[in-house]
Structure 1
Amino acid sequence: MPSGRTVTSKALALLGAFESGPNALSLSDLAEFADLPLPTAHRLVGELVEWGALERDDRGRYTVGLRLWTVAQNAGRHLRDTARPHLQDLFSLTQETAHIAIRDGDEALYIDRIYGSTRVPRASRVGGRLPLHATAVGKVLLAYEEDWVRDAYLAHRLEAATKHTHINPGRLAAELQKVRDEGYATTQEEVREGSCSIAVPVRLDPHPAAIGLVMLSTRGTNMTRHLPTLRGIAHRIEVAASRPQPSLAQIPRRSPRRS
């Protein structure tokens, strides 16, 4: 890494080690990931522990701290809070695992998820990310993006999560056109063996979203029966998200109690 890095960039590099790596890391692991001398990493990690961004376990390994986790819960909170009751309705009406996602770079970021009782091979979690081309919500998000975004995505090498993942750029481009024409996307064991998914767009401004269902691949042949429910729930989320949110100044204050 280049010299002259700020303290902030060094601290963020240390935290970045937990984005997709193991849950617990040693000090040397953190220093190597952030490309920092061990003494510098030791000092910064100590400050992060003191603030609550990291925690140190009995084995001397570090994990994400509760305070950082609490702060992170505010990311996407408006959309999550708006969509939550409708996502619960989607689960109640289908009895399948339901989730909502947005695009974050070249990945689908899962904002919320309600798990069904059927054990389905799990690919992600709330706050987790998956490749756009391997998930139904990701394909929806990519299909409704601007042309240049899709072209840039398809120009990169596409990784295959399973032997069923669609990684041929031409085939995927045609599939995305079909998603735009039909208004929904499906996958069959493209991100995990044994699971399939279906998703529809949630047209929000400025950041579109997608809601979807995940189920056992044995149910994939008739998962389009859920399309009317998915589209109805998507519309309800769009309407709820369009309502203006009150500012702090608009929230009525309670009058002081008189003794």
Structure 2
Amino acid sequence: MLDIRNVTKRFGGLTAVDDVTLSVEKGQILGLIGPNGAGKTTLFNVIAGTFPATEGEVQFKGERIDGKRADETCVMGLARTFQIPHVFTSMTVGETIMIGAFLRQRSIPLVRKKAEGVALAVGLADRFDTPTASLTTAERKRLEVARALATEPDMILLDEVMAGLNPTEVNRMLELVSDLRDGGVTVLFVEHNLSAVMKICDRIAVLDHGAKIADGLPREVMDMPAVVEAYLGAPATPADGGSADAAS
């Protein structure tokens, strides 16, 4: 469904994404992980149309989308959330979800009905008429997903939707992501919560210093030396006398 081919993104002399090739099949949940500064969010933004790629191309459902605006890719069925929830504090939960639903429908009664269904699906039905300013962090995260889901995407890009959540809230979000996939939505998400990633992903891709260093089944990827090194630093190297010097 999504094909990223030799994508590089530079900001002046800084290469944030370095020749990354990656694919996401229809119906998959793929986790994109890596240490801070690995290039995950930059690649995410290239896919979503926020940044143009310096080199390479991105295809969605067989059509090239690099260079398209974010609103154009959304119309095609590729929706996204943001790392920091973008809520409209002057609106209610329902009104916020309706903004997404207006992408496919102009009838206000039908848009409201769609928004009510989405609110129910993400666990915000009882907060439908609540001002967004009064929501908890976990509720704002679910509202981000709800607004994206209201656009009726074929694929959704989730940007650290579990950041700042307690274990109970993380489990609830995992259930929501699983439900999205069961409902026919393909999922690519950037996430720092490795435990959550291991529980739900069909595949994991790992970036480090902008380059892809691993791609495969969760347990296999997390056991790869290059991945362990990326997260924990270079392994100790035995030296004379039995001591070990850690590489920097």
Q: TM-score, normalised by structure 2?
A: 0.31
Q: TM-score, normalised by structure 1?
A: 0.30
Greater per-residue strand proportion: 2
Larger radius of gyration: 1
Greater per-residue helix proportion: 1
